[in-house]
Amino acid sequence: MISKLSYLYDGSFEGLLTAVWEAYYAKEDPSEIIWEGVSHPNLLSSTKMIYTDANKADRVYRAVEEKISHAALRRIFYIYLSGEPESGIIVLNYLRIGFRLGAAVDDYHAEPTVLKSEKLYNKVAMEKHRQAGLIRFKRLESGVFYSKIDPDHNVIALLAPHFAARMPSEYWILHDAGRGIAVFYDKNDWVVRNLETPEDIVLKEEEETYQEMWKAYYRHLSIESRKNMSLKKRMMPVRYWKNLIEEGIELWS
């Protein structure tokens, strides 16, 4: 009987890169690389723990950049951020082809693994792009701009540079409530820290004025005779609406 080999890692990007190193140097062919927190032991598979090693991770990181391309590095990072269960094994298989073909790997669109990697990369890139527009900041009593979001993928760290360039002179917080993490910006740098949903938050008085204005503006912009809700829902999926002020959410929720 053929037994499957599963790699378990700690869920960090370095951990995933260490797993890639391990597969190469142990000459193993794991069928999955998953985060130990979500693994379900299976009688038919044997598991191997991967212990994150900054040195090994760094060597893989540099090898990808030098032997494939910077774009490939970005691609595997985005795939990792997707959080999908198959992301680990896609990264490994994609890199195997990449080390063979070099920078040309991303042109090989018809190759199944390359295609999968491209699809997953695009999903994350798409969400990053959408969130850049769909985030709504609310001004708190303290002057801080706060935003709660629930993205499908782990994109807040990708969004942080965007807002740091836009609003360098404000304090702001980007809160991924589902994952319990947030980006904090202090007018100089941003960091990612754990953050549970705060309970005692007070809005600045002006906040109500601008939210009302935004809702009014939004209402008055649609052209009744062109109404097309299915088009709207295709462009802006309903799952994102819960954090949108213009879709009628309460002033604070």
Partner 1 sequence: MDALRKLEILADAAKYDVSCSSSGSNRQNKKGGLGNASAAGICHSWTDDGRCISLLKILMSNSCIYDCAYCVNRSSNDLPRATFTPEEVADITINFYKRNYIEGLFLSSAVVKSPDHTMEQFIEILKKLRDVENFNGYIHLKAIPGADKKLLDKAGSYADRMSVNIELPTEDGLRMLAPQKKQNEILGPMNDIKQGMLQSIEERKIFRNSPKFVPAGQTTQLIVGATKDSDYRILKLSEGLYNDFQLKRVYYSAFVPVSTNPLLPRISSPPLVRENRLYQADWLLRFYGFNSDELLSEDKPDFDLLLDPKCDWALRNIDKFPIEINRAEYHMLLRVPGIGVKSAQRIVSSRRFCQLDFDDLKKLGVVLKRAKYFITCKGIHSGIKSMEPVNIRANILGDSSKKDPRQLSLFDLEGGMGNDLKIELPV
Assess 212 for contact with partner 1 (CB under 8 A): yes
| 105 exposure class (CB count in 10 Å sphere: 0-12, 13-18, 19+) | buried
Contact call for residues 96 and 27 (beta carbons, < 8 A): no
Site for partner 1 in 100-139 (CB under 8 A): 104, 107-111, 115, 126, 129, 132-139
97 binds partner 1 (CB under 8 A): no
253 binds partner 1 (CB under 8 A): no
Total residues contacting partner 1 by CB under 8 A comes to 54
Residue 246, φ and ψ in degrees, nearest 5: -70, -15
Q: Angle at CA 62, nearest 5°, toward 61 and 68?
A: 90
**Which backbone phi and psi does 49 adopt, to 5 degrees?**
-80, 135
Q: How far apart are CA 70 and CA 55, in angstroms?
A: 19
* Part in contact with partner 1 (CB under 8 A); list of ranges 36-44, 45-53, 165-173, 177-185: 165-173
List the one residue from 27, 40, 55, 169 that touches partner 1 (CB under 8 A). Answer: 169
User: Does residue 49 belong to the site contacting partner 1 (CB under 8 A)?
Assistant: no
Contacting residue, 12, 38, 228, 239, with partner 1 by CB under 8 A: 228
Q: Which of 46, 217, 242, 251 binds partner 1 (CB under 8 A)?
A: 217
> Does 223 interact with partner 1 (rule: CB under 8 A)?
yes
For the chain, strand residue ranges (E) read 4-9, 32-35, 45-49, 138-139, 145-149, 172-176, 181-185, 190-194
Contact flag: residue 165 with partner 1 (CB under 8 A):
yes
Q: How far is CA 182 from the centre of its chain?
A: 12
Token couple for 17: 């890169």
Given 222, 242, 251, 252, the residue binding partner 1 (CB under 8 A): 222
Give the whole-angstrom CA distance, residue 239 versus residue 236.
Answer: 8
40 is a site residue for partner 1 (CB under 8 A): no
Residues 162, 131: contact at Cβ < 8 Å?
no
Q: Residue 57 carries which side chain, given as an amino acid letter?
A: A
What part of residues 141-160 is at the interface with partner 1 (CB under 8 A)? Answer: 145, 147
Name the residues that contact partner 1, by CB under 8 A: 104, 107-111, 115, 126, 129, 132-139, 145, 147, 163, 165-170, 206, 209-210, 212-214, 216-223, 225-232, 234-236, 244-246
